[in-house]
Amino acid sequence: MSDVLLDFVRAARGTGIRISPAESIDAVQAMNALGWEDRAALRDGLGLVLAKTTEEKAKLAECFDLFFARSDMKRPEAPEAPPVADQQAMAGAAGEPQGGGGSALGEMLRAADLAELAARMERAAEEAGVRNISVFTQVNLYARRMLEQMGLRELEREIARGGPAVEQLRQGRDWLRGEARALVERNLQLFARGETEKYREEMLRRARLSNLDRRDVERMRVLVRAMARRLAARYARPRRHARRGMLDARRTLRRNMPWGGIPFRTIWKTRRIEKPRLMVLCDVSGSVAAVAQFLLLFLWSLNEALSGLRAFAFSNRCIEVTDVLARLPIEQAGAEIMAQVGFGSSAYGASLEDFDRLAMRELNHQTTVLVLGDARGNRTEARADLLREIADRSKQVIWLNPEHPLAWGTGDSDMPRYRPYCKLATQCATLDQLERVIEDLLRASA
């Protein structure tokens, strides 16, 4: 029974519930204390042991009900019901051999022995390894394997021989296929949910942000926040080396002069970690608006690792949106920003002039300027001289362009004019590319 419980714990982890090995041991002890007779009590007991939040309790209860419903086999309704025992008499009257003449599976279908059929199906599922299912395309494969373990081939040979009960056996076979498929689908929902979510997240991370389906936007926001928290935790930890690291020999000898230079008190070299100061300019015109919203969400979730973050949005003019992002949730802030300057025609020269008035004097050599845009100014004046001044005043300019580098300089793209003043100019069309750039920025400043 402990193996069954460990399978349940594995299924619960697939729903997103965090369960440690110690908590798994507590679950086994709770199972031994409560027993299996009262499922409601066992479900409540496991909820107390394994779940930490109200949301996790609801997920665990749903997983429990689904997991322990696997062996339930619903009696089929007429006319699809498997034949009853009196079909044996009909078969005997027609001259069909009784006893060992038919298949074992056919005998169970004639007797309508649902309990034995359910037990055989559970054993067949275990022998077929249905708990290893990982993608929905394997449902038919595992269902076929289960039925073959139960004796499907012998049943089909019996059907091929014909007889008065052949139609009933054929209907019973079809009914068994449906039950096997339903059991496999339950196992898919139980054991493949974690792998399916992982695969879906990997696909979303590599998908172009500008091409996301509306159904994936909310999931993408969850991914962005999770990635930002991970980077913040990695690069915002206090780095203290007071009692470890490299020995500062000079200061140690000076401190221990009263004891003849014997190092009773050691001094270790420490390093002050400066958080990067960042100014972000986001193009929110129609062509790159979707990418800009995700960048703002990503950066604003990194507040623990960044100091002095200031955000600016522009299309044909540039405004500062730092206070909007601080005052409102990111979804509402994005809508307000787009209402003010979003979806217009890009004018990079005019926007750089606005930035010159708003923040040029506050740039210093600790400031990184991050620009997100396709550099398509609709044939307006580029004002690359202002970007050169920004590069001279700041530590570095990083330009993230959602277009492929082969498209830079084509049509109305001014990217070749801006690129000489950027320390880094790279494509940023997916969440993976965005994370890589921000992580490199944080690593370089650490």
Give one DSSP letter per residue of 302-358, joined into a string.
TTTT-EEEEEEEESSSEEE-HHHHHHS-HHHHHHHHHHHHTTS---HHHHHHHHHHH
d(CA 309, CA 39): 53
* Contact between 420 and 392 (Cβ < 8 Å): no
Note the pLDDT of residue 303: 63
CB distance 388 to 414 below 8 Å: no
Query: What stretches of 148-189 adopt beta strand conformation (E)?
Result: none
Helix, strand, or coil (residue 156)? helix
Task: Name the residue type at position 47.
Answer: G
Q: Strand, coil or helix: what is 383? A: coil
Angle, alpha carbons 23-29-30 (nearest 5°): 85
Instruction: Note whether 440 and 418 are within 8 A (CB).
Output: no
Are the C-beta atoms of 64 and 8 separated by less than 8 Å? yes
Tell me the residue type at 270: T
Thinking of the domain 277-445, which architecture would CATH place it in? 3-Layer(aba) Sandwich (3.40)
The whole-number pLDDT of residue 214 equals 63
Q: Residue type for 5, please?
A: L
Q: What is residue 1's predicted lDDT score, i.e. its pLDDT?
A: 59
Per-10-residue mean pLDDT for the chain, 446 residues long? 77 82 87 83 88 86 79 50 42 42 80 81 86 82 90 88 80 88 83 68 73 68 74 58 67 84 78 67 82 73 68 91 83 83 87 94 90 91 94 93 91 94 90 81 67
Does residue 177 contact residue 145 with C-beta atoms inside 8 Å? no
Q: How does strand 277-283 pair with strand 367-372?
A: parallel
Structure tokens at 60: 């665990």
- Strands 424-427 and 396-401 come out as parallel
Nearest CA to 356 among 388, 400, 331, 330?
388
- Tokens 């008035």, residue? 357
Nearest-CA neighbor of 262 among 271, 253, 270? 253
Domain ranges (residues) in the chain: 2-67, 86-194, 242-274, 277-445
Q: What is the dihedral of CA 12, 13, 14, 16, to 10 degrees?
A: 100
Exposure string over 173-189, b if 16+ CB within 10 A, otherwise e: bebbbebbbbbbebbbb
Q: What is the pLDDT of residue 320?
A: 93
The reported pTM is 0.58
pLDDT for res 271 = 59
Question: What does the pLDDT read at residue 74?
Answer: 56
Give the amino acid at 282: C
